[in-house]
Structure 1
Amino acid sequence: MTSATEAAPRFACPDWWAKIKAGETPMADVPINEAKAAKALAFFNRLRLPDVPGNPTMKEACGQWFKDILVAFLAGEDPETMERLVWECLCMVPKKNSKSTYTAALGLTALYMCEIPNAQMLLIGPSQNISARCFDQAQGMIRLDDNLKLIFKVQDHLKTITRRKTMTTLEVKTFDTSILTGEIPVMTIIDELHELGKKAGAIQVMQQIRGGGITMNGGQVMMITTQSDKRPAGIWKSELQKARAIRDGKAGESPIMLPVLYEFPEKLQKMESFWRNRENWGCLLPNLGRSISRQRLEDDYTNNGSISPEVEQVWVSQHLNIEIGIGLHDDRWVGADYWAKAAREGMTLDDIIAKSEVCVVGVDGGGLDDLLGICVLGRHAETKAWQAWAKAWADRDVLQLRKVIAPELEDLAAAGELVLVDNIEAEANPEIVDICSRLKLAGRLPEEDSIGMDPEGVGSIIDELTEAAFRIEDIRSISQGYKLNAAIKIAPVKLKNGSMVHCGQRIMDWCVGNAKVEARGNAVIVTKAQSGSAKIDPLMALFNAVMLMSWNPVASGGPSVYEERGLLTV
């Protein structure tokens, strides 16, 4: 924690939640060049809203929150070196806060402020509809003011606005991997950044955009977005994590990104009683009473947003920036509530093998559009706590077959917790056999029922295990559906009381967040069908291992944990 006498890291805002509750903009104080700020605000304030009756000016219609962001972004300056301070800004604000309109106005203001001749600015939308709306708003503002028509030239067919004095252009484009075509924009404004988390190649495009930042002219990047309506992935996940780290003072001394995040603290995002209380909504809606009607928002939630858990999850992600993930809704697996607390960061498979008196293995496989998951579950020799480690493999074709989750799978592959292969049987099966063989050689497997599997889609794994001298008695078929009910209910109890822990792996966090349950008579089941296109295979492998461990197995032999540590002498 930073002491009162120490300077906080640049752009850190430890009191961000207090600011939100007080109705202030949740961002750090940024030194401002007052002359630039006055010029930017004077221009911005004169712009008129083209799609509102009476066409009010930004001075009248825009909330102070966005003006604070505009001034910091365009006029933030080190008072000693006179160097620009804010090279990037990430603003996350809920839906219907005039985000796209204000973004268009910021683009025009930046174009007016830029004195670099023949430069290029980009305003990028993730889809044709969003980029077209941004352009329509910008050109509408110009056409409402005769003086602006003298300053700017609008080319509808090119979606381009040019400042006549400098010939610098603001081009409105729809995102794709070829938008830059070798150009180095002096400013890039990205609307709805979270949508880019669903697009392949987005990371590479962002690297190209940021390449402009190391030129003598520099290159600013403004990102403004709502929260994602799916679990954050790809470029959106990485940018959001970075912004939160900067805001919390955990990203070094001199970041270049200014974060402005309208969200509840994580613990409150997981308290359904808190965010369902409509009295708590207003602090996240800086345009409440301007572009947002409280009554209409509440009516929309009552009539549309709360009709089912799935719909509610999407509604609150968009209107309250609740991050979709672990522990939000009634159809979740109850173990999700205790999963994060049971993580033991730094624990590895080697640790589990070394410290366990017995281990069992769960395996769950599928087709080309599924994952192949394995889970090793060990019982600690001293504490008797169950310790879980998992890994998964996927055929590369899944990136095309399941494009919605492709960015998440690529992230997991980069983290080393998922292996993308060209041939599951040839590349994944041998590694599964190797893991089982390591456990057998260490004497950690029980005499029988040491490897539990969903009987479907695992024939080739069984063949390779038997070729590696595993007996058919070592392999147990674990019935799925309602017959897995015991494991589905045992695991949450042990997670809550601390008698089951895990390695804190991202792939398992993802699978646990994806898991949905369904009541079948007196049983509760977790199924792939119920969880949709999101994957849960490594979690199902854990359930298979839990079934085996619940039978209280005893290791078949090998050196004891005490002998390995040199604690037992003859």
Structure 2
Amino acid sequence: MDWTTACPDWEERIVAGKSLITSPPLFPDEAEAALDVFKSLHVVDVPGCPTFGEIGEPWVFEIVAAIFGAQNPDGVRLIREFFICVSKKNGKSTVAAGIMLTALIRNWRMANELLILAPTIEAANNAFTPAAEMVRIDPELHSADRGFLLIQDHLKTITHLKTRAALKVVAADKKTVVGKKAGFILVDETWELGKSARADAMLREATGGMVSRKEGFLINITTQSDEPPAGVFKDKLAYARKVRDGEIEDRKFLPIIYEFPAAMVKSEAYLDPANFYVTNPNIGHSVSEEWLEDELRKEMEKGPETRNVFLAKHLNVEIDTNMRTDRWSGADFWADRGIKLQLPDLLHRCEVAVVGVDGGGLDDLFGVTVVGRERETRDWLAWSHAWCHEGVLTRRKQIASRLRDFQKAGDLTIVGDELADLTEIVNVVEIVKEAGILSSVAVDPAGLGEFVDALASIGVTQEAKNLVGVSQGFGLMNAIKTAERKLVNGTFFHAGSDMMNWCVGNIRIEPTATAIRATKQNAGDAKIDPAMAMFNAVAMMALNPQVKGGSMNAYFESLGGAG
């Protein structure tokens, strides 16, 4: 049997209002049987309590048919994972309840377990209520009448009295899912799990039962995150896009993502009410176009923080580094200047380099950015790395999963109480020095006494004129302006790491009496230290520096003759 879960022409399809599922149900009879059940369920929060069959939209029926139509007559499901990302108020939670009730009713395995994982207890209540009410209103389902489904509100459980299978709604926590053997799992609001550093382990525990459940499925149903995606949500979203675009062939994974094409995001076409339908397939039904238009008008008069929440939730726009009014102007051009670049590449291509350093206490990142001037083009190249103490992961739980992402990508090193960060940072400086292209190390003079002592061990000192303190006032303002101008004219390129994308997005520009300064977007959780290290380096690179000692040949000899 041949089928595909890719949808490479999704941009044309979504603008035209066409289906994002390219292959019909693999087993039409299974799909039809499930649709008969699903369409008979009542939607209780709509006046008159109509059934899905009476008010459901084609896109919903296509999803239901794809999920249940993937099981062959032998009970083996050929498409096992589904990722559905759609704007808020498109019936997401109600549809999720209907899908899981349909799975409970159609299930053939005795004493099977079905799970809806919600990010919080409150969200679990919201997920359980529509499912329970669908049962209560239907005497053919509710055991209190003559049906076969028993509701236990205190346990948030609906049990099938004939198969003894149970649908449970639980808050997503490793303690609540340990030992579960569910064959059918639906994860509600996956974006919120991205904030938890332990979400990946919890999901692995929750989905472990699928190993022995050949008919099982995993459904992620979510809106966009109200901040740049992180953790398990970031990974799922990236994988789903690659499958959709045909970059990865995975016929067992079906992505259905209602998002604006890149060109519409770049032109901010999502702000035009005529385009609201793109990410709101239920517009005109559960979604009011007039309400969206009125709310958007109000949000445009507010600050960027609440506006971004509206854009993410109601228009499914992914929040990135250039969506705040007080952002650093260079953020608008930052993503376009990312290239594939590692430190050895920079050392090989550049005639001179400055190492910028910035770091605070144990609650901050210790950031290093090497900015080099390329020989042939005289363009500037930047490579960055950061270190943090493991205690940040517990003190700043909101960003713990994001920091783990950076660690996984190789852009962040997490150190323990031995505080190996200083040694490793000095090693970076020494590598640049041995490459024969070090002009200077540029630092924020405040709070770096221990680091200054460590640099002295490799001959980097103020007396040698290769250690420079950068004024954090007017001098840094010039660096901020220089960096953004070179990003605009395409003469400043960087390694394109997610860590630096995040740090650049966290920069807030504040006017002072005589200049401007860069600060954090939010105190505590928003980190900008590697970006500030970059500005320190730029401040010195703007002075057209020359090399102060060292040998390029010695560096390449240390690599075994590479170069």
TM-score normalized with structure 2 length: 0.93
Amino acid at match of 1:93: V
CA contact (8 A) 1:213 1:220 kept: yes
Amino acid at match of 2:298: N
RMSD, aligned α-carbons: 2.2
Distance (whole Å) between structure 2 residues aligned to residue 392 and residue 213 of structure 1: 39
Distance (whole Å) between structure 2 residues aligned to residue 16 and residue 33 of structure 1: 24
Amino acid at match of 1:287: N
Alignment CA distance shift 1:442-1:70 (3 Å):
same
Question: Are residues 1:462 and 2:452 paired?
Answer: yes
Equivalent residue for 2:161? 164
Distance (whole Å) between structure 2 residues aligned to residue 442 and residue 352 of structure 1: 10
Q: Identity of counterpart residues, as a percentage?
A: 39
State which of 241, 244, 247 in structure 1 corresponds to 2:244.
247
State which of 102, 113, 125 in structure 2 corresponds to 1:132.
125
Q: How does 1:459-538 map to 2 (within 5 A)?
A: 459-472=449-462, 473-520=465-512, 523-528=515-520, 533-538=525-530
Offset at 1:227?
A: 0.3
Equivalent residue for 1:57? 51
Equivalent residue for 2:561? none
Offset at 1:36?
A: 1.6
Single out whichever of 522-531 and 502-511 deviates more from structure 2.
522-531
Distance (whole Å) between structure 2 residues aligned to residue 533 and residue 14 of structure 1: 37
Secondary structure of residue in 1 paired with 2:163: coil
Q: How does 1:138-217 map to 2 (within 5 A)?
A: 138-149=131-142, 150-217=147-214
Q: How does 1:291-310 map to 2 (within 5 A)?
A: 291-304=286-299, 306-310=301-305
Amino acid at match of 1:232: P
Equivalent residue for 2:381? 387
Question: Are residues 1:29 and 2:23 paired?
Answer: yes
The Cα offsets for residues 137-187 of structure 1, whole Å up to 9 and x where unpaired, read as 111111111111112111112111111221111011111112223122110
CA contact (8 A) 2:355 2:371 kept: yes
State which of 350, 353, 369 in structure 2 corresponds to 1:356.
350
Secondary structure of residue in 1 paired with 2:104: helix
Distance (whole Å) between structure 1 residues aligned to residue 552 and residue 152 of structure 2: 78
Equivalent residue for 1:108? 101
Question: Are residues 1:233 and 2:227 paired?
Answer: no
Distance (whole Å) between structure 1 residues aligned to residue 214 and residue 471 of structure 2: 64
Offset at 1:306?
A: 4.2
CA contact (8 A) 1:21 1:283 kept: yes
Alignment CA distance shift 1:166-1:260 (3 Å):
same
Equivalent residue for 1:435? 428
The Cα offsets for residues 192-233 of structure 1, whole Å up to 9 and x where unpaired, read as 111111113110122233333332534310110100112111
Question: Are residues 1:259 and 2:249 paired?
Answer: no
Equivalent residue for 2:531? 539
Distance (whole Å) between structure 1 residues aligned to residue 523 and residue 17 of structure 2: 39
Alignment CA distance shift 1:122-1:562 (3 Å):
closer
Amino acid at match of 2:447: G
Question: Are residues 1:332 and 2:322 paired?
Answer: no
Offset at 1:482?
A: 4.6
Distance (whole Å) between structure 2 residues aligned to residue 382 and residue 562 of structure 1: 21
Distance (whole Å) between structure 1 residues aligned to residue 109 and residue 29 of structure 2: 18
Distance (whole Å) between structure 2 residues aligned to residue 336 and residue 226 of structure 1: 25
Offset at 1:551?
A: 0.6
State which of 405, 408, 417 in structure 2 corresponds to 1:411.
405
The Cα offsets for residues 65-98 of structure 1, whole Å up to 9 and x where unpaired, read as 111111101112579x984222011100001111
Distance (whole Å) between structure 2 residues aligned to residue 46 and residue 105 of structure 1: 10
Alignment CA distance shift 1:94-1:246 (3 Å):
same
Alignment CA distance shift 1:82-1:167 (3 Å):
closer
Offset at 1:237?
A: 0.3
Equivalent residue for 2:65? 71
Secondary structure of residue in 2 paired with 1:245: helix
Secondary structure of residue in 1 paired with 2:531: helix
CA contact (8 A) 2:311 2:317 kept: yes
Equivalent residue for 2:6? 12
Secondary structure of residue in 1 paired with 2:546: coil
Distance (whole Å) between structure 1 residues aligned to residue 190 and residue 257 of structure 2: 13
Amino acid at match of 2:485: V
Secondary structure of residue in 2 paired with 1:167: coil
The Cα offsets for residues 438-483 of structure 1, whole Å up to 9 and x where unpaired, read as 222232123xxx1111122211100111233322232211122454
Offset at 1:9?
A: 7.8
Alignment CA distance shift 1:228-1:136 (3 Å):
same
Secondary structure of residue in 1 paired with 2:62: helix
Question: Are residues 1:401 and 2:395 paired?
Answer: yes
Question: Are residues 1:289 and 2:279 paired?
Answer: no
Single out whichever of 108-117 and 437-446 deviates more from structure 2.
437-446
Unpaired segments ≥5 residues, structure 1: 1-6, 566-570
CA contact (8 A) 2:438 2:550 kept: no
Secondary structure of residue in 1 paired with 2:295: helix
Distance (whole Å) between structure 1 residues aligned to residue 460 and residue 443 of structure 2: 14
Secondary structure of residue in 1 paired with 2:274: helix
Q: How many residues align?
A: 551
Secondary structure of residue in 1 paired with 2:141: helix
Single out whichever of 536-545 and 10-19 deviates more from structure 2.
10-19
The Cα offsets for residues 52-73 of structure 1, whole Å up to 9 and x where unpaired, read as 2211111122222111111101
Secondary structure of residue in 2 paired with 1:247: helix
Amino acid at match of 1:369: D
TM-score normalized with structure 1 length: 0.92
CA contact (8 A) 2:149 2:161 kept: yes
Distance (whole Å) between structure 2 residues aligned to residue 368 and residue 374 of structure 1: 16
Distance (whole Å) between structure 2 residues aligned to residue 481 and residue 269 of structure 1: 35
Equivalent residue for 2:307? 312
Equivalent residue for 1:4? none
Single out whichever of 133-142 and 478-487 deviates more from structure 2.
478-487
CA contact (8 A) 2:84 2:222 kept: yes
State which of 299, 316, 321 in structure 1 corresponds to 2:316.
321
Secondary structure of residue in 2 paired with 1:469: coil
The Cα offsets for residues 213-263 of structure 1, whole Å up to 9 and x where unpaired, read as 3325343101101001121111000000010000000113x3421100000
Alignment CA distance shift 1:403-1:238 (3 Å):
same
Amino acid at match of 2:455: L
